[in-house]
Amino acid sequence: MRLAFSTLGLPQLPVAEVVRLARDRGYQGVELRCHPEEPVHTGLGISERADVVEEFAAAGVEIPALAGYAGVAEPGDDEPVVAEMRGLLALARDVGAAHVRVFPRGGGQPAVEADPTAARRLAAVAPYAADLGVRVLLETHDSHRTGADVARVLDLAGHKSTGALWDVMHTWLGGEEPRDTLAVLAPYLGYVQVKDAASPGDLTPLALGDGSVPLAEVLAVLTEAGWDGWLCWEYEKRWYPDVPELPQLLAAGREHLLRLLADVA
């Protein structure tokens, strides 16, 4: 498996510094948080997008995904959500990212309403994603935090250019066992976000291995299944400014993941 980290842990850090950290700490990839407050966002011009490509290529670091914020199950008109996803997909194509992350954000709607809305919007952008060579991934998050929740939507969307991003914290919070998550997401799985926290009642980000999220079990079931994709550490420094800085944790986090992988090899 290949290791990446998310720039959610490095709020507003310039691209050159992000790439340097990845290269120096031994990570093969970086998931770029795609938001107007960050260096990489859909408002970038062609030359700025080319600069991003050049920075990553020069260091031999990949961009497995752009982490977007479109909410595919949100109430309201389809057009703004579809347009937001299309913008993210075009940016992903231009910077060489294989995936675009989107959220459910179905709120309190029943699944019978939220699922078709999300599936319809994903299906609307799927042919465009296919043309660009990018895949749009629905994250296990908020209203659809389990693998079973996300799989229902992807079953309805019915397109190979739509898939799943397994955020291991949210399936844990949803009470779903890792083996059960993988069983339903296996046909759709794009990549996996890892993170750690003390308990469901305290989600303050911790260094990998210092909390209770079942990372070892997740990596065991992935390994048993022969899955060999990206593991991306999403350290939510952006939402918890008082936690330790990510750069000082990156080397130990990589070593922890490599130890877990060696244990289950």
DSSP output for 98-157: SEEEEE---TT--HHHHHHHHHHHHHHHHHHHHHHT-EEEEESBTTB-SHHHHHHHHHHH
Closest by Cα among 206, 119, 136, 217 to 171: 217
**Into which CATH architecture does domain 2-264 fall?**
Alpha-Beta Barrel (3.20)
pLDDT of residue 206: 98
What rounded mean pLDDT belongs to the chain? 98
In the predicted model, what is the mean pLDDT of residues 49-76? 98
248 three-class SS: helix
In the predicted model, what is the mean pLDDT of residues 135-153? 98
pLDDT of residue 258: 98
Residue 204 reports pLDDT greater than 90:
yes
> How confident is the model over 30-41, as pLDDT tens digits?
999 999 999 999
pLDDT of residue 265: 82
d(CA 240, CA 242) in angstroms, rounded, equals 6
d(CA 181, CA 197) in angstroms, rounded, equals 19
Residue 106 reports pLDDT greater than 90:
yes
Percent of the chain, pLDDT > 90? 99
Contacts of residues 248-252 at CB distance under 8 Å and 24 or more positions apart, as own/partner, are 249/207, 249/208, 250/5, 250/21, 250/25, 250/27, 251/25, 251/26, 252/207, 252/208
Instruction: Please report which confidence band the pLDDT of residue 27 belongs to, taking 50, 70 and 90 as the band edges.
Output: very high
- Interhelix angle for 111-132 vs 78-95, to 10°? 30
In the predicted model, what is the mean pLDDT of residues 174-201? 98
Instruction: Please report which confidence band the pLDDT of residue 94 belongs to, taking 50, 70 and 90 as the band edges.
Output: very high
Residue 142 reports pLDDT greater than 90:
yes
